[in-house]
Amino acid sequence: MAADLGELLVPYMPTIRVPKSGDRVYKTECAFSYDSPLSEGGLYVCMSSFLGFGREHVERHYRKTGQSVYLHLKRHVKQKVTAASGGALPRCINGKIFLDLEIDADFNSDDYELEDEAKLVIFPDHFEIALPNIEELPALVTIACDAVLNSKSPYRKFEQESWEEELQVSKFASNLVQLDNGVRIPPSGWKCAKCELRENLWLNLTDGSILCGRWFCSGSGGNGHALEHHKQMGYPLVVKLGTITPDGADVYSFDEEEAVLDPHLAKHLAHFGIDMLQMQGTENGVMDNEIKPRVNEWEVIQETGLKLKPMFGSGYTGFRNQGNSSYLSTVMQVIFSIPEFQRAYVGNLTRIFDYAPLDPTQDFSTQMAKLGQGLLSGLYSKPPVKCELIEQVMKEEHKLQPKGITTQMFKAFVSRGHTEFSSNRQQDAQEFFLHLINLVERNSIGSENPSDVFRFLVEERTQCCQSRKVRYTERVDYIMQLPVAMEAATNKDELIAYELKRREAESSKRPPPEIVRARIPFSACLQAFTEPDNVDDFWSSALQAKSAGVKTSRFASFPEYLVIQIKKFTFGLDWVPKKLDVAVEMPDILDVNPLRAKGLQPGEEELPNLAPPIVIPDDPKDRFRNTFMEAPDIDESSVMQLAEMGFPLEACRKAVYYTGSMGAEIAFNWIITHMEDPDFAEPLNISGYAASAQPSHGVAAKLNQPPEEIVALITSMGFQRNVAFQALRATNNNLERALDWIFAHPECEDEAANTSQSVDDENHQQSNGILTNNEQEGARVKDGNGRYELIAFISHIGTSTMSGHYVCHIKKEGRWVIYNDHKVSASERPPKDLGYLYFYHRIDC
């Protein structure tokens, strides 16, 4: 038999490789779907490229590459045999766990056991060779299979504990000692045994004592008596009262110094008379019929305590939280609720998959189509069926019902080279949205660009306060940023009284009062948006000198989908980032038609089209550097505005500096262009001051003349020659970055077309619904009516964009649905006033 197997494998030996240290082995997830070894058909790993494929996609890879040998991986979940006393008998099934996979919390107990199975499969005949088979297989094949099985996940750096889902089982859970002291915990009326506090109470699972937690400046805390008790007695595990539900509770281990899982929590609670299956998540034992208004941000946004009906099927698939990934998952949920993105990726799925490169894990369109299909197919959002469950129990094998999809492969690709998104820290959802739009733009050349639905033109009117002359410019944007008008709060008296009570409680170390949140009318935020902004260090071309200037912004076009960001994040006087805890009364129907731009008005005089004076450096060593402008002072107000968006502080300072302190909007465009630079977040180096993103003229232009061969290459792609010059000068003659710059600055192509005699004015007048002066795809915007309906919003929980959690609500089939990681449910009380990003869809008149 050994000779037969050896002879069988001889033709395929050149295609079987042993993975090297730099090879990525995808043995946990399919490159085209979310099938894994836990799926019914298992996962097939190519023994040449080490890519993983589900049963549905392995045939495509075989036909495309001719690769015939795959390692088939399958994990079985089986229920242990139950003893007469009702407990599970610990027995070992043949085999072992050898796959580097996450263990689902539902099966991380003594009731289930896992068995991994591996075998070689040869296509197209599907000939199977069970492993291990050391005696019969050639040595090279055995070594290659062992190397694949023992390889680590390529996403190891992303597999961190999440805020809720990835807690570890406490080492004290299995053998926890519980004192038989007769203590029984009542269903309500709890208070600390030492200070009589009635909030933030923790039950010690060893002796049943109820004590308060630590004091937190956020408002929820106590006097630390639970920790003191642990130091005296050494009892390790506590559970927070008010969080106990049939699904679990918040358990903390003092010895391990972290939140943990307790698989035996129901038994531990029953010791003190608590029936876990009858508990509801309430604070201080107040049941729902005695309900008091929930004001805590975590509770309101997640709709804690409400009986939310789970939803399953197409469009109701969640994401598994894999450690600070909710900023990404909420944005992608909203993105794929939009028909244009569904059509562009899921609608073209077969074509995208068929024409995918040999490594589909590194192709943007493939990964977008994969993610969209995972969310919309319903394959990974199936309700448990009782009859199937009974049949599974009879077979002693538990069929896993998928709980959402993962973000590992998608995140690894879209965050590649990005300092922040490639980390394991929580990020700003608004910043990720812009990053995603940038990727869509760059990967949609020559095909449908679904991000067109977000793009709009902003008209900026800048006026010199001294000469009263004006300049009108246009720029492209994707988000309307609304400031929070704190001075317009409608409950100022309540806020003042709350602040006095909070300070008194803090000084006397008493429990803080119930939170009072500032209520801000949306109209006040809209009014603040329309107010003129001061432009410090404004250079007036009319005066040929710096002067005071003011700037206002209006819509030159209205997008199909209007994204609004409520600017809740700011910096305190100590430069510590903080979040404004406010409730903005967002409308379901929004009319921004009054914000339509009107252009140059009768009686207004335009500022001369003159550039600031150019300073040529005296040092001859600097003659071949980029053109220099007089080094401006850094406009700290613009730096603050950019930092409030979540960008690194040093990057904001560089953006303002390199754009000559011409305002936050221009600096924002610089940030979008340079976001992927290796030194993006590095401190500003004044001695290395480079050219601004503005075009150069005259003598200075000759000092940095771009190579003609690079200019010719860019113009051969269809771009204007002066645009090529401008992009190369802004990126130090780097071709790749220059192309990215052009796609990030489509407004520059508009300006180039304005000066080109080849523009046909008649054609422009006949371009229906498009407010641009050329036909370049990157500059197209879809204009229309300015009335919108709210269809989705993303909410942030926590004090900073770098921490906390995101939840999104999406309106589907006339009702609101809450997406909270893998949990998807019908929303009962959508917290529309606590959102961070809002998505509005145009209403057709």
Is residue 806 within 8 A of residue 327, CB to CB? The reply is yes
In the numeric block, which tokens belong to residue 838? 């809002």
What separation in angstroms does the CA of 431 have from each of 437, 560, 739?
A: 10, 20, 21
Report DSSP letters for 762-778, one per residue: HHHHT-TTB--SS--GG
Q: What's the angle, vertex CA 377, arms to CA 165 and CA 809, rounded to 5?
A: 55
Nearest-Å Rg of the Cα atoms of the chain is 31
d(CA 736, CA 43): 37
Is residue 595 within 8 A of residue 554, CB to CB? The reply is yes
Is residue 211 within 8 A of residue 245, CB to CB? The reply is no
* Region for residue 321 given its phi and psi (left: phi exceeds 0; alpha: psi -120 to 50; beta: otherwise): beta
Going by C-alpha positions, the residue among 238, 241, 281, 275 that lies closest to residue 256 is: 238
d(CA 355, CA 363): 11
d(CA 108, CA 87): 16
d(CA 100, CA 116): 10
d(CA 556, CA 456): 7
Sheet holding 201-204, edge to edge: 210-212, 201-204, 237-240, 251-253, 258-260
**Helix 326-335 vs helix 429-442: crossing angle, to nearest 10:** 50
Chain CA centroid to CA 451, Å: 17
d(CA 593, CA 606): 25
Q: CB pairs under 8 A, 24+ apart, for 708-712?
A: 710/735, 710/738
Q: Does residue 76 have a known ligand-binding role?
A: no
Q: Does residue 192 have a known ligand-binding role?
A: yes
In the numeric block, which tokens belong to residue 432? 């990720």
d(CA 548, CA 243): 56
Chain CA centroid to CA 633, Å: 35
Q: Does residue 195 have a known ligand-binding role?
A: yes
Alpha helices in 446-604 (DSSP H): 492-508, 522-530
Is residue 675 within 8 A of residue 655, CB to CB? The reply is no
Cα pseudo-dihedral 819, 479, 568, 463, rounded to 10: -170
Is residue 767 within 8 A of residue 779, CB to CB? The reply is no
Cα pseudo-dihedral 26, 28, 31, 35, rounded to 10: 160
Helix (H) or strand (E) holding 139: helix 139-150
Sheet holding 127-130, edge to edge: 52-53, 43-46, 69-79, 112-122, 127-130
In the numeric block, which tokens belong to residue 655? 């953006």
SS (H, E, C) 211-249: EECCCCCCCCCCCCHHHHHHHHHCCCEEEECCCCECCEC
Helix (H) or strand (E) holding 794: strand 787-797
Helix (H) or strand (E) holding 837: strand 837-842
Q: Does residue 225 have a known ligand-binding role?
A: yes
Alpha helices in 536-606 (DSSP H): none
Residues assigned a catalytic role:
805
In the numeric block, which tokens belong to residue 643? 């930092």
- Please give the annotated binding residues, written as ranges: 192, 195, 212, 225
- Please give the annotated binding residues for Zn(2+), written as ranges: 192, 195, 212, 225
